[in-house]
Structure formats: C-alpha cells, structure tokens
Structure 1
Amino acid sequence: MTNRTKNSIYSLILIALVAAVWFFRNNDKDEESQEAYFFIAGDAQGTTYNINYLDPKKRNLKNDIDSILHQFDLSLSTYVSNSEIAEFNENDSLTYKSEFFYPVLKKSEEIYKASEGAFDPTVYPLIEAWGFGPKTVDFPDSSKIEDIKQYVGFDLIEFDEKQVIKTKDKVSLDFNAIAQGYSIDVVYDYLTSKGIENMMIELGGELRVAGKNEKGDLWAIGIDDPKQEQNQSSKRVAIIKLENEAISTSGNYRKFFVHEGKKYGHSINPKTGYPIQRDIISATVVAPSCMEADAWSTAFMVTGLEKAKTILKKQKHLKAFFIYEDENGDLKQFSTENLSQNLITE
C-alpha cells in the first residue's frame, strides 16, 4: 500500500533500534534462550513490519505471517488491482470472499457514528481527487470537490455479514486509515492462537503488544517530534508504555504537497471535502485493538482538539496524546488522564 493514507512514511511512532537492542540484550543470554526469542521482519502493505515474540517452542513463524498479510492485501488494499475492495469500487456490490471485509466494515460503521462522521471510509474519491491515492492528478477546483462530495458518506452503503452494496453510483471505499491496524490485530490473534504471550507487532509504525519485552519490562514506544526535519535524527517528545494494548499516531507534517505557497496535508475532512486545517498536528491513540487505535487517530486529526476531548469523555476505553498548536502557533501537549501513569514526556 505505497502512499497509503496512514503509513510509516508519516507515522510519528518510533520504535528506536528494535533489532539492535534485541541482539545486544541477547548476546549475554545462553544459546537456548536466544533460540527461543525471535525477531522477524519483512515487507507488507507497501511498508515494513517488525515482530518480536517469545516462543519456548522455538518456532519461526515468518512464512505463516507473510501468508496472512498477503491474503489481507488481496482483500483490503486499494493498491492491489484484483483485491476485494478494488472489485467493490469498480462495481455496484461485493459478496465477500475473505473473512476480513465484514469486520472492518462493522468497526468502520461504529467509529463513523461515534466520531459524527469524522472517520469515513467512503472518503476515497476525495483522496484520489487531492492526489493522495495511487494516481497523480491536477489540483482540484472547488466545483470538482463539491461534485465529489455527493458520493461521500457511509450511509451511502448497505452491508451485512455476506455482502456490501452501494446505494449510489461512484461511491468508493478506502480502508487505509483502519486496515493497517486491523492487519496487526489479525497477526496478533494468530500468534496468540500459537500460545505466544509476549510479543510486539509493528507494521508501518503502528503497534500492538502483549506481555513484556525481552528485558521483562513493559513495551515502551517513542513519539516523534513533529517539528523536526525529515533528514534529522529522530527526536522524541514522549514515551508511552503499553500494557497489552495497541497504539497508532496520525499526523500531517510528513505527507503533504504545496500549491501556490500553501501546504495541503493528506488528511481529508469528509464533510468539507478539503484537507484539514486543524490545531492537532499529531494524534496518538492507545486502544485495546490496533484497528480502533488506527481509525481514531485519523478521526481526531479531523475533529480538532476540543471535539476530540468531548468524544474521549464518552470513549473511555481510549487513551490519547495530542500535540497541537495554540492560537499563537506554539506547540502544546494534551493527554488523557488514563494515560498519565504510562506516559513520560521529554
């Protein structure tokens, strides 16, 4: 999923030297222990994945994981021409072929409603119009955006456990703001089914963890400074410790284009049809599943700070850390109270 709306290129989550740290710490362990603890990596969804897991049975599960991620792409990737979602976008309906399509639709509907439309997978025509899809396009004029908006709205599709149907022609789906997180959950469930209790799964900068790391501590994830230059060494503004949780960060500062001197970020407001101009520039969400963390981090970029705070009072299972600009353009931080125990700011 190269250039996907949310991927590692512009994800703010940093897993600092995962492989190097792992090898360093295991140099002092006996040979049997080294064989039991695995670090595997690979390519998936146009980005990379890294997985750490402790397995007393000493199984290297890379081939199985690669197979799962490949099947996942065949279902939900808009960058795979023969995927299920590509088939739906080209036709009026889709009868599911995989087990992946319905769960992501169901969760999308839930978050669409809870976010009051800030999260909307039918935003795909707008993403394409603004040049953040697979194709290169010219800068859209206002009349084109207004025309496209009539095909955007989650209420323009109907679905059940077997199929999804468009109620209006040209409606298209894009799960790039939720599918990557969901793929991590799928891999997590697979490893859990194999009896793995201690793991860290990272794909494109999003993560889900269980148990403890190889040192016996909680998994600690660094949050990047959104104001640093791309060619600079990564600088952290915070560290979040996870307890059997998932984490995702969305931001606009690494994926954008400039037109006539104005910067346009990749996050599109489904209601206005335009790239968002909000106070939040980095939204990190910790949730029980990575699918939720992924979708909500995108939604909060659209809602802005005050609306996000209101939603978080209702969505008590979520934890959040925002970096935002105040009215003077100064960077400020906001975090939910339920995150404070596991949050270290720098």
Structure 2
Amino acid sequence: MNNRKKNSIYSLILVAVVAIVWFYRDGQKPENEKLPYIFISGEAQGTTYNITYSDKENRNFKEEVDSILHQFDLSLSTYVKKSEIVRFNESDSLQFESPFFYPVLEKSQAIYNASAGAFDPTVYPLIEAWGFGPEKVDFPDSSRIEEIKSYVGFEHINFNKQRVIKEKEKVSLDFNAIAQGYSIDVVFDFLKVQGIENMMVELGGELRVKGKNENEDLWAIGIDDPKTESGQKAKRVAIIKLDNEAISTSGNYRKFFVHEGRKYGHSINPKTGYPIQRDIISSTVVAPTCMEADAWSTAFMVTGLEKAKEILAKQTHLKAFFIYEDEKGDLLQFSTENLGGNIIL
C-alpha cells in the first residue's frame, strides 16, 4: 500500500473518530443545561416591543417579527392611512384581505355580549369626539354626544369570515382596546411554531409568556402604583407570576385631559357616551390569550367593581387584580381567588 493511500485511510479514520467523540459528548450534555436567551426589541403601533426567548439554535427573529407587526398595522391600525379598518370606517363594507380582521371581530362580539356592551369597538366616533383619536378636537357638547350615540353599538354591524357590513350609516370601528393584545398573540404563535418553549412577548406594556425565564422561574410582572407622580420611577403595588398566560392593565391615570378643573380619562362608556367615572382606576386581567386580557381589562374599567365581580364569577378562565377608590377616595385592592399564590402584594 503506498503512502498516499495510507494517508487517505488515516484521514478518514481520524474524521470518523472525531465525529464519534463529538456525538458522544453532545449526548452526554446535561438535560438541564441552560439555553441561550435572546432579546429583540423594536417599534410598533406607536409604542415599543420587547421579546425575550430561549433558542438552542440561537436564531434572531427580529426581521420576521417586524414584518408581522407591519402587516398587522396595515390591517387594524386607525393611524395607518388606507389600512383595512380605516377603509371600512370610510365606506359601508369591507372584504377582508388579511387574516387578522375576522378573529378580532369574532372575539369582540363574544366579549361585547358577555360584558353587556361595556366592551364595544364601535365606540370609535365617541373616542374621536372626545379628542382621543388621531385628531384633536374641542370639548364636545351634550347634543353632539347624543347624536353620536345613535350609531354606537356592535349590533349595527354584520360580519362573516369574508366580510363586514355596516347596518347603520356612520358606524366606525376602533380595535385599540383589543388589537394590541391580539398582535402579541400573533407574534407569540409565530415563535411557538418555530419551536420556542420559553418566551416573553411584550408590546406597549401588555404581554404573554410561555415556559420560564432565564432563572428558570415563572415570568413575574410588576403592577404599577397609579398614584406614582409624573416623572418619578413607578412604584410597584403587586407582582403577578404568569404560568403560560397573558396579562394586560388598563387605567385612566396616565392618559387623560383636564377641562374646567375636571379630569377626563380616555376610557369611554359606550352607553353614556362620556369618559367613565367608575371606582376602578387600574384594571389588570390575566387570561389564556392577550387578546382576551386586553379587551377585558378595558371592559372592567367601564363596568366598575361590583359588575366586574359578577362577570368574573361566570368567566372563570379570567383572573383579575383591581385598584379602586372607595367613597372616601382611599385606594383599595381586589384580587380574584384564582390568582392564588401567584400574586405577591
């Protein structure tokens, strides 16, 4: 056998030995070895998103996430010209082009019914009238509010899986109280399909989690004290641990305006047509999906504490934590029993 042939055989043997050793060592890796956690962030829906996840392949999904959120805005954002929702609001019907519009309509209808109309995406004309839409306006008079109320009501639209139709002229939709949560679900589902087992997807303060964090604990979320002064670092009044769940907090303590010495929050009561004056000032909801958590946290701001308790007794898949004012103006707290040991006060 010549030397050249011997060297080729030795090389093949060496490669085989190296491969065997590598596969052996890889198989001997401890099962509890920590996977690398990846952090990506960006801007979307007029705010920011932050996503943390573990991935044995160390993949970065920022480009895909940005693309998903961009397509989402082209469907459901009232701030994007010619989005699907803007085109619907300017016409009498819409043939769906994206996969996003119908699921939001379907869930909105379910929560509209379950909340006795406290959650109502057709409230958009009232939001605009009170200056909480894209355009700033003067303080509306009572006759203007009464006129708008005549075409507010989810029963004024009809839809199926292909299209949505107005049953009454001037009806307009605003999904800002549910779409942000749904966009988190969409990104969450994308990452889940990629095989991601541990993640936190946050956008605009709402989030959904799966598995555990880098310390191998449940993801823990702080609830802000609504009385924290502007410009100061937010104080925490509670910490809620999430077990493969989503969470959303609504409140009127940050987004409001003052007219003639009176504060008006951005949450509108669809039935009265006016900004809510209820006892709940911070509404936190934990749910299986962020779409549900987002919508229900808004609905409970409208219903008030006692009605919220009645609804929660029926909607047992929801968990809630409220900060509310009593008759004396003192701040009190309420949490559902099913939060159990996952809330730290």
Provide the TM-score with structure 1 as the length reference: 0.90
Alpha-carbon displacement from aligned partner over 1:264-304 (angstroms, at most 9, x marks no partner): 00000000000000000000000000000000000000000
Secondary structure of 1:78's partner? coil
- List runs of 5+ in structure 1 lacking aligned partners: 1-32
Aligned to 2:236: 236
Aligned runs of 1:117-266 on 2, under 5 Å? 117-266=117-266
Aligned to 1:16: none
Aligned to 2:95: 95
In 2, distance between residues paired with 1:43 and 1:254? Answer: 20
Aligned runs of 1:1-346 on 2, under 5 Å? 36-345=36-345
- The alpha-carbon deviation at position 37 of structure 1 amounts to 1.7
Secondary structure of 1:155's partner? helix
Counterpart of 2:272, as a letter, is T
Alpha-carbon displacement from aligned partner over 1:116-139 (angstroms, at most 9, x marks no partner): 000000000000000000001000
Which structure's relative contact order is higher, taking Cα pairs within 8 Å and 6+ residues apart?
A: 1
Alpha-carbon displacement from aligned partner over 1:104-155 (angstroms, at most 9, x marks no partner): 0000000000000000000000000000000010000000000000110000
Counterpart of 1:150, as a letter, is S
- The alpha-carbon deviation at position 205 of structure 1 amounts to 0.2
Q: Contact conserved, 2:208 with 2:289, CA < 8 A, in 1?
A: yes
Counterpart of 2:240, as a letter, is I
- The alpha-carbon deviation at position 78 of structure 1 amounts to 0.2
In 2, distance between residues paired with 1:234 and 1:103? Answer: 35
Cα distance 1:74–1:34, how it changes in 2: closer, same or farther (>3 A)?
A: farther
Secondary structure of 1:170's partner? coil
Alpha-carbon displacement from aligned partner over 1:169-200 (angstroms, at most 9, x marks no partner): 10000000000000000000000000001000
Secondary structure of 2:308's partner? helix
- The alpha-carbon deviation at position 82 of structure 1 amounts to 1.2
Counterpart of 2:197, as a letter, is E
- The alpha-carbon deviation at position 341 of structure 1 amounts to 1.5
Alpha-carbon displacement from aligned partner over 1:203-248 (angstroms, at most 9, x marks no partner): 0000000000001000000000001112011100000000000000
In 2, distance between residues paired with 1:37 and 1:156? Answer: 47
- The alpha-carbon deviation at position 34 of structure 1 amounts to 9.2
Secondary structure of 1:232's partner? coil
Aligned to 2:6: none
Q: How many residues align?
A: 313
- Root-mean-square deviation (Å): 0.9
In 2, distance between residues paired with 1:81 and 1:155? Answer: 26
Counterpart of 1:98, as a letter, is S
In 2, distance between residues paired with 1:86 and 1:139? Answer: 24
In 1, distance between residues paired with 2:48 and 2:204? Answer: 6
Aligned to 1:21: none
In 2, distance between residues paired with 1:34 and 1:143? Answer: 63
In 1, distance between residues paired with 2:116 and 2:254? Answer: 26
Provide the TM-score with structure 2 as the length reference: 0.90
In 2, distance between residues paired with 1:119 and 1:230? Answer: 29
Counterpart of 2:47, as a letter, is T
Counterpart of 2:217, as a letter, is D
In 2, distance between residues paired with 1:336 and 1:322? Answer: 9
Alpha-carbon displacement from aligned partner over 1:286-340 (angstroms, at most 9, x marks no partner): 0000000000000000000000000000000000000000111100000000002
In 1, distance between residues paired with 2:305 and 2:328? Answer: 15
In 2, distance between residues paired with 1:230 and 1:123? Answer: 29
- The alpha-carbon deviation at position 36 of structure 1 amounts to 3.1
Q: Contact conserved, 2:35 with 2:54, CA < 8 A, in 1?
A: no
In 1, distance between residues paired with 2:35 and 2:111? Answer: 41
In 1, distance between residues paired with 2:344 and 2:172? Answer: 41
- List runs of 5+ in structure 2 lacking aligned partners: 1-32
The percent of aligned pairs where both chains have the same amino acid is: 77
